[in-house]
Structure 1
Amino acid sequence: MSVNVEAILRKHYGNGSEALEVLLAHSRCVAEKALAVAERVAHLSPDRLFIEEAAMLHDIGMMHTWAPGIGCRGESPYILHGIIGAEMLTKEGLNRHARVCERHTGAGLSAEEIKDADLPLPHRNLLPETLEEKIICYADKFFSKNPETLTIEKPMASVRTLMARYGENQIARFEAMASLFE
């Protein structure tokens, strides 16, 4: 079964909004990187079609958050974009895709990290578990949504520095993915 990603995005974003343009550019870069990673681990039999679809939809919830620099003028804090996106895709009947939305923030977030940082997220593990979830989470770290650098892939050293800022658990999970995918 193939998902009409563009139809889903246009249903929620309309046509031509700044947020949609940022989302599409970012998601295309993430999808390309994720598919390249999938090729490197072809021996693990990743689901390439799912990876492409889920990478294109992983940030769908951002439109409901407050991030005016990327055209999002919703009421929720940006950290909730994954949870919101999961809710949106669950309503579309895309439960597997929804899991990617809620598990891609950072290198995933444990219930303990969420609670300790007092994040406005459900107090449960939001860690990528499947190979496909890990590939998309990993690929996402290499691209920002800053309109000035949207399509420029960050070098590994920059990604490692960024992940290290969020603590030992984040960098350890990222390094585990990097060792599998590079």
Structure 2
Amino acid sequence: MDPMAVIEKYYPAGSPLHCILVDHSRQVAEKSLEIARNLADPDLDLLFIKQAALLHDIGIFLTASPKLGCTGEAPYVCHGYLGRELLDSEGLDPAYGRVAERHTGAGISLDTINRHNLPLPRRDMVPVTPAEKIICCADKFFSKTGPARHRPRTVPQILADLNAIDPAHARRFARWAQEFRL
């Protein structure tokens, strides 16, 4: 499976959004591999982690995010589950779609979806597998816009941002940061 071929099916090569997505996804893939290698877990599939990290944000073009140049109709919070639907429609192993769906925030619980009436399917979207947790965690270090686009954020910055969204996200990320020795 060639992640770039999948990306370029939906993002014209060289377009501004393609560049933003690919730059961000490569950063997340590199950080994911760094985390996985530091864990030295022989059961981690490094090829899957790299490929899934490259594809985790494939659904952003389906959302309305003017600062990224996304002209879709859905709110940005939907890009994870929309990415899952897209990857599933490509016939990929469902594990790729689950990574896309579960990486938003530090995962979004069904309780959070219901409590905030988020425009998401009513199901838990919290990372479960080690690969899902690693990619979700790595994603938080890089933004697609602003200063964090070119340099990683720090764990305290990530925790502060996640806490402002939902303290449960910050607690989940803090557990991963400790587990992954970040």
TM-score of the pair, normalised by structure 2: 0.95
Aligned match for 1:63, one of 51, 61, 64: 61
CA shift for structure 1 position 43: 2.7
Structure-1 residue corresponding to 2:12 = 14
Distance 2:150 2:25 in 1: 10
Q: How does 1:144-155 map to 2 (within 5 A)?
A: 144-146=143-145, 148-155=147-154
Q: Equivalent residue of 1:69, what SS?
A: coil
Aligned partner of 2:122: which letter? H
Aligned match for 1:89, one of 55, 69, 87: 87
CA shift for structure 1 position 167: 2.5
Aligned partners of 1:82 and 1:101 also within 8 Å? yes
Q: Equivalent residue of 1:177, what SS?
A: helix
Give the alignment's Cα RMSD to 1 decimal. 1.1
Q: How does 1:21-170 map to 2 (within 5 A)?
A: 21-43=19-41, 45-94=43-92, 95-146=94-145, 148-170=147-169
Aligned partner of 2:109: which letter? S
Aligned partner of 1:136: which letter? I
Structure 1 stretches of 5 or more lacking a match?
none
Q: Percent identity?
A: 43
- Total equivalences in the alignment: 180
Distance 1:49 1:38 in 2: 11
Distance 1:68 1:122 in 2: 24
TM-score of the pair, normalised by structure 1: 0.95
